[in-house]
Structure 1
Amino acid sequence: MIYVVGVALYAFLLVTGVILVGPLVVAGRALLLDAELVGRYLALLSDEVRRDRAQKQGPDEEAFRQYFHGPAMRDLTVSCSRATRELPAVVRDTLRATGTNWLTHPAVSRLVAVPFGVLLITGVLVGAVLATAVVALLVLLYALGTVLLQGLSRVAAQVLRATDRGVLRVRELHNGMLCPHCYERVPYPSYYCPEAGCGRRHNDIRPGRYGILRRRCLCGRRLPTLIMTGGYRLQAVCVHCDSRMSQETGHYPELVVPLIGGTAAGKTQLMAALLMTLETGGTRVTPADGTTEEEYAALRYALTSANHPRATPRALPRAYSVLLGAGRVRRLVHLFDTAGERFTNREDTDALRYAAAARTFVFVLDPLSVPAFWDGLSPARRAGIDRSLASRVPPDLVFQQAVQAVRHMGAPLGRSRLAVAISKLDLIEDSGLLDGVRTDDSEAAGEWLTRELGLGNLVRSMRHEFRDTRIFFTASIALGEAETHPSLRPLLAWCFGGEGRRVFRG
């Protein structure tokens, strides 16, 4: 009888406990396991997000891909793969531990341990199902958010690219930036990472799959993705010849000015004198690269010391790139000084592709190269001029060859301007041939070339080929350390002062 009463009492307490306490035990154990499993999944995902693996590197750039352009889905996939292996193992370990502690080897009476263990196991199973649903929901939300943000980032990238193109158009660079080495137009240059010891090359730095406002190099350095963020100077690289471009490439409008003329016509000396005139005339002149800085220093020294600059090497010229002006009114000017021999051989002129980008040309005409000049001098005055300083190539031959080459390169001569610089005014102004001639008047200079030197056909050809032609008498000499011949200022004012290019205070 006592045994029956005991069994009945145990059954009553068991049923009462299961009904009253059982749901709390099951729910509590389920919530604890659910929190543990969800927390572990979030930890797995966070671990993948923070990890910089090679898979996050782009296939064609040495940079990490923008997170929502590949890495986000990769992190989600890898974290899900790890979760399918690790989370079931957690559930199995929990079930095994619960069975051992409450069913197989309980620390208390089996009458108490077994029912409680069954409740705990039920809670573990419920928690596993609940955690599976929660993790699946998190995965779905993460995937949807990734797709949405990837779409938004693509739109933002296109908007920023369009804005950058607009800035380039305002800077008159929509047709590309000129490489001073190979003369090709570069729509968008490559850039080197400026981090010390890195130097990785980024081929297309624009907003896209590698970053919207910034991209991260494999070295960890963050780089701007827009040319319009001009405060971030990166070393530009030509995509055609892999040469380093000017340090100011892309930040300012560009102006290409080729100097054309025969050997010893005075092109190099004129270029040095023009730069010195700009510098001493109040215009800020900043070399745009180290090569230009070194060459200009040498030319300036030769000019101020009354020495003749060395002849231009016959090799293809590299542009002298200088930044003119200050503040908003700035221009990146590329001056090309080409060896005179290249203007008399068709095979050589074909290589002068930079002329296609020019809209202002400077033709250096040496009057000493024209026989009529010497014929018009008296014997005494002829003896007073060093004939070895004369160019050996007739100016009309140089001009015709140059025009053919420039036209062959696709330059629109009918929309271009030509400045004719009659050089060596300092040598000829006392020759008697300039008596009564206004050396500051273009029409008078043209008439002088026609009347005294017999170059009427050349003058007419110049005015026919170009939209606007001006003729200047020039003396490429320095009058001390901080002054040049006054004949250079009108030439500069016309070349750099027209068409909105008011970077010269002439």
Structure 2
Amino acid sequence: MRPLFALAGLVVLALTYLFVAAAVLVFLAPPAVLVGIAAGAGAGALIGLHRSLAVLAGRVPAGYVRTPDDVVAGRIAGGVRKESIRRDHAWPQYFAVQIRWDVTAVTRAVAATVSHVWARTLRPLAAGETRRILLFGWPLFPPVLAALVGVSVGAAAAVTLTAVLAGAAAALVWGMGLPAVGLLRAVDGLWQSVFRASGSCQHCFHVTSLPAYRCPGPHSAEDREAGLDLHRDIRPGRLGVLWRRCGCGHRLPTTVLRAAHSVQACCPACGEPLPSGAAAMTDVRVPVFGAASAGKTHLIMAGLVALSRAGTRRGTVGFLDEHSRTAYEQYRALVDSGQSAAKTSAAVPVAVTVRLRGGGRAALVHFFDAAGETLADSGQNGQLAYLDQARTLTFVLDPFSIPDVRDQAAAGYPDLLSEANPATYDVADAYHVTVNRLRLYGVDTHRQRLAFVVSKADLLARLPIASGLDPDSGSVRSWLVTVGLDNLVTIATRDFGEVRFFLVSARDPERGAAIEPFRWLLAADRVSV
């Protein structure tokens, strides 16, 4: 009988268990499932929110932050200008680059947390306790699984909401940023076009509308040696619309107009400093060419001194670099003392740059004076790249190198001829060698203006052959034709878009008309002096 009683007890116990389990499944499991789903969804949403806020607060996993090194390495979308050797070492604009990586970081962080929750909850099944759990805990499976599913759904919803909000914010910023970038770039370009603004290097003669800018922030010697402090494309874009942040943390303005007077501009070709205001001010390059001893250096000396004295009275002239300031002081001393300048070095010239203000605008004017021997040598004049970039040129002719003038002076005025120290190079050849060099390098001289200057006017006036000659352009041209240079005059007027003739003496810069060729050349750029 005892076994029967035991069997009956087991049956009653089993029936009771099944009754209780059925009651749990029928009456408790559904609300428990609903509660589990709701609680899990809330917990999942909190997980997603926490991870999103952590990423926004800067706690981004390694590998998910786009840095200036990534920009330099080309791992950020965007092209590189032809003049640039690489992308600049600067932080990419957040909504242009980093926001996508932040959403990815949030997604993976939330996924990792949810996976951890699932693993911790289901760990007992993997620890050999499956029989006991299945025997006694299976009625709790539905709400537990519901809670896990709820966590997953809530977390997915939070990530989706984060992605949607991030996408909406990025779309809004791009929608405003792209027109702003286009407008700011257009303003730079329009300004440079209207005011003929560019940056000219005094050393390598490179001309650019977009200088490189040297960051004044804290950079190591290694960074500066590698050029990481040099920003070669300061324009608005993926690295910033109104401002950009250098890799060192220093904030820089983005447009050329805003950077021109606040950041040190440099030549993108050789790295030498450019004058303040480069590429934002009218830029005039004035190459002077002619034979050796024709008076090129004296013309620049007298013209520059006259420009400075005429402008200084109105406070409109300034020298922006030590080389130009020193050169001007030497010129002024020679002009005031009446002494002659030393023979021009055969080395490649460094421009003398002066800042002029006149006619309602500011201009940087660069005077280039190469030795006549360098100009005449086709093997050397190829390195005078400033000739190719000039809108205006000045040809200096020594009247004592004209055969008729030289013969008259030699016959009756030998002392005057000796004082004149005439150029020995053929007049026409001195002109043609430079013009042919311009054509060889693809320069359309018909788009350029030429100041045709007859020098040494004070000495020439003492010869009978110059009687009746005055500084008027028509008079100078007629006189040149009279003394046998009609072919050169015709060729010059045919080669260049506009030619004007001048008679100049460098002895007295204020009354010798040395300023007149430069006044005429500058007037084309609407700079009055």
TM range (shorter): 0.7 to 0.9
> 1:83-113: CA deviations, max 9, x gaps?
32245546877999xxxxxxxxxxxxxxxxx
- Aligned counterpart for 2:479 among listed residues 424, 448, 451: 448
Q: For residue 462 of structure 1, report the CA deviation from its aligned partner.
A: 2.5
> 1:413-450: CA deviations, max 9, x gaps?
33432212221223333344433x24222222233334
Please provide the CA RMSD for this pair. Answer: 4.0
Question: 1:275, 1:211 → 2: CA distance?
Answer: 42
2:327 corresponds to 1:278 = no
- Aligned counterpart for 1:204 among listed residues 213, 233, 241: 233
Question: 2:480, 2:319 → 1: CA distance?
Answer: 36
Question: 1:276, 1:252 → 2: CA distance?
Answer: 22
2:93 corresponds to 1:63 = no
Given the two structures, how large is their TM-score scaled by the length of structure 1?
0.78
Question: 2:120, 2:301 → 1: CA distance?
Answer: 84
Aligned to 1:83: 110
Aligned to 2:127: none
Instruction: Name the SS for the 1:68 alignment partner.
Output: helix
Aligned letter for 1:281? A
After TM superposition, the structure 1 = structure 2 runs for residues 169-188 of structure 1, keeping only pairs within 5 Å, are 169-172=193-196, 177-188=199-210
Aligned to 1:266: 295
After TM superposition, the structure 1 = structure 2 runs for residues 338-353 of structure 1, keeping only pairs within 5 Å, are 338-353=370-385
2:333 corresponds to 1:301 = yes
Aligned to 2:401: 369
2:152 corresponds to 1:132 = no
Aligned to 1:504: 528
Q: Check whether the contact 2:199–2:274 (CA below 8 A) recurs between aligned residues.
A: no
Aligned to 2:77: none
Q: 1:462 to 1:86 in 2, by over 3 A?
A: same
Q: For residue 53 of structure 1, report the CA deviation from its aligned partner.
A: 6.0
Q: 1:354 to 1:172 in 2, by over 3 A?
A: same
Q: Check whether the contact 1:319–1:336 (CA below 8 A) recurs between aligned residues.
A: yes
Instruction: Name the SS for the 1:390 alignment partner.
Output: coil
Aligned to 1:74: 101
Q: 1:338 to 1:32 in 2, by over 3 A?
A: same
Q: For residue 37 of structure 1, report the CA deviation from its aligned partner.
A: 2.0
* Structure 2: segments with no counterpart, 5+ residues: 1-23, 75-85, 124-136
Aligned to 1:439: 470
Question: 1:42, 1:377 → 2: CA distance?
Answer: 92
Q: 1:311 to 1:377 in 2, by over 3 A?
A: closer
> 1:50-70: CA deviations, max 9, x gaps?
996647741343111111222
Aligned letter for 1:337? D
Q: 1:277 to 1:136 in 2, by over 3 A?
A: same
Instruction: Name the SS for the 1:392 alignment partner.
Output: coil
Question: 1:503, 1:172 → 2: CA distance?
Answer: 11
Q: Check whether the contact 1:261–1:267 (CA below 8 A) recurs between aligned residues.
A: yes
Q: For residue 196 of structure 1, report the CA deviation from its aligned partner.
A: 5.1
Aligned to 1:194: 216
Given the two structures, how large is their TM-score scaled by the length of structure 2?
0.75
Instruction: Name the SS for the 1:250 alignment partner.
Output: coil
2:339 corresponds to 1:312 = no
Aligned to 1:164: 188
> 1:142-162: CA deviations, max 9, x gaps?
452365247433454334333
Question: 2:450, 2:39 → 1: CA distance?
Answer: 90
* Percent of aligned pairs sharing the same letter: 28
Q: Check whether the contact 2:36–2:146 (CA below 8 A) recurs between aligned residues.
A: yes
Question: 2:300, 2:465 → 1: CA distance?
Answer: 26
Q: Check whether the contact 2:400–2:417 (CA below 8 A) recurs between aligned residues.
A: no
Question: 2:511, 2:187 → 1: CA distance?
Answer: 45
* Structure 1: segments with no counterpart, 5+ residues: 1-13, 97-113
Q: For residue 287 of structure 1, report the CA deviation from its aligned partner.
A: 2.9
> 1:109-147: CA deviations, max 9, x gaps?
xxxxx9xx9999799658624631442233331452365
Aligned letter for 2:216? P
Instruction: Name the SS for the 1:346 alignment partner.
Output: coil
Question: 1:170, 1:384 → 2: CA distance?
Answer: 48
Instruction: Name the SS for the 1:386 alignment partner.
Output: helix
Question: 1:309, 1:271 → 2: CA distance?
Answer: 11
Q: 1:371 to 1:138 in 2, by over 3 A?
A: same
